[in-house]
Amino acid sequence: MPVITTIEDLRRIYARRAPRMFYDYCESGSWTEQTFRDNVSDFAGIRLRQRVAVDMEGRSTASTMIGQDVAMPVALAPVGLTGMQSADGEIKAARAAEKFGVPFTLSTMSICSIEDVAAHTTKPFWFQLYVMRDEDFVARILQRAKDARCSALVLTLDLQILGQRHKDLKNGLSAPPKPTLRTMANLATKWGWGLEMLGTKRRFFGNIVGHAKGVSDASSLTDWTAEQFDPSLDWDKVRRLKEQWGGKLILKGILDEEDARRAADVGADAIVVSNHGGRQLDGALSSIRALPGIVRAVGDQVEVHFDGGIRSGQDVLKALALGAKGTYIGRAFVYGLGAMGEAGVTRALEVIHKELDTTMALCGRKSVAALDRDILLVPEDFEGRWA
Ligand SMILES: Cc1cc2nc3c(=O)[nH]c(=O)nc-3n(C[C@H](O)[C@H](O)[C@H](O)COP(=O)(O)O)c2cc1C
């Protein structure tokens, strides 16, 4: 058993274990991948203030996100096809999150269905919606999420059309994989993954197949997205969906201060500063650079959450200190899942928790509530001077 001390350790094991098609799906951004890279590298520009001789006894990373208690403010982000990274992946990740005491968000494009995840967990999870052209489908899936006691709706606003990720097209990404010569040659080297996958029936988009009418090919994310995702989604529709849902609402994919104000006007419970992990608009600002301006614009009106590029507890701490009330990890938990299943997700959360707790202490703070801009050294031009 290897000694795992970082998220990068998990990524390396995951890269060996998962089929190339699914590893590439996770580990890529759109077009030149500039935003995907910046999301991670821009964290390094921020440094920390070392403080000493502060009583560190009785520290805690506990906090709340949209009024819900969390062991640390780090939720699992919605990630499509998670059940292809490891058999029954959404169930495994949801269970790990539940045991750790952090929220799990189920993607519309999951392999395990809402009902399946609900049946294998005991606490409410969050459901992420991609708005579809088919309003009946949307009404039914919202009802299904309510019936499954989902405690928040995460409405994703930055994917009305799909950003192009070259590798997915070249690999012929689909769920389950289509048996081409190239794919079969790669799968033959991934026997651990394959054996687990043979043991489950969950190999299709569980929220879609059998629920959406007139779907020509639900195995191809790219085709299906082009066919079904609603390009006409606007703020009026967001308001209507808020009414239709009637519960806690988190608007995900905000990167612009003007959009943040619109989202706050809608009356969302939280917004997520996010560029979809650099998978949509390549060339957009990294999430961490966009965060301070958005906190200044709407931080007193709506809870500001953050995702994009988090690979350590130090990254979490930096986002919190810049004003985020909560954060999400996408790839960091997928690396764990693909490497070691449920135990790997738990390990990813443990690594991040340890890093967050230790860094908090060495910066002289005992609680999440006490984290503020004062513990950071931020370059004067960090947000950039853009014309
Ligand atoms: C493989 C993958 C699939 C994703 N699928 C979804 C999705 O179905 N719905 C969604 O709202 N966001 C999706 N995202 C975006 C994540 O929710 C999140 O915004 C992003 O992963 C954060 O960046 P990070 O991976 O650097 O933590 C996906 C991200 C990845 C990496």
Pocket test for ligand 1, best of 37, 79, 153 (most atoms within 8 A of CB): 79
Per-residue CA distances from 208 to 219, 247, 290 (Å):
10, 23, 34
Tell me which residue of 47, 45, 49, 46 sits closest to 375, measured CA to CA: 49
pLDDT at residue number 215: 66
pLDDT lower than 50: segments of the chain = none
Identify whether the C-beta of residue 314 lies closer than 8 Å to the C-beta of residue 50. Answer: no
Is 353 a known active-site residue?
A: no
pLDDT at residue number 210: 81
Q: How far apart are CA 268 and CA 155, in angstroms?
A: 10
**Tens digit of pLDDT for each residue in 176-211?**
899 999 999 999 999 999 999 999 999 988 998 888
From the list 211, 276, 305, 353, the catalytic residue is: 276
Tell me which residue of 285, 289, 291 sits closest to 305, measured CA to CA: 291
Task: Give phi and psi for 376, each to the nearest 5.
Answer: -110, 155
Output the ligand 1 site: residues, CB below 6 A. Answer: 25-26, 39, 77-80, 107, 109, 128, 156, 252, 274, 276-277, 279, 307-310, 329-332
DSSP, res 327: E
Instruction: Please name the residues in contact with 343: beta carbons below 8 A apart, sequence gap of 6 or more.
Output: 96
Q: How far apart are CA 155 and CA 278, in angstroms?
A: 18
Size of the chain, expressed as the number of residues it contains? 387
Identify whether the C-beta of residue 201 lies closer than 8 Å to the C-beta of residue 209. Answer: no
Ligand 1: which residue has its CA nearest to atom 10? Answer: 78
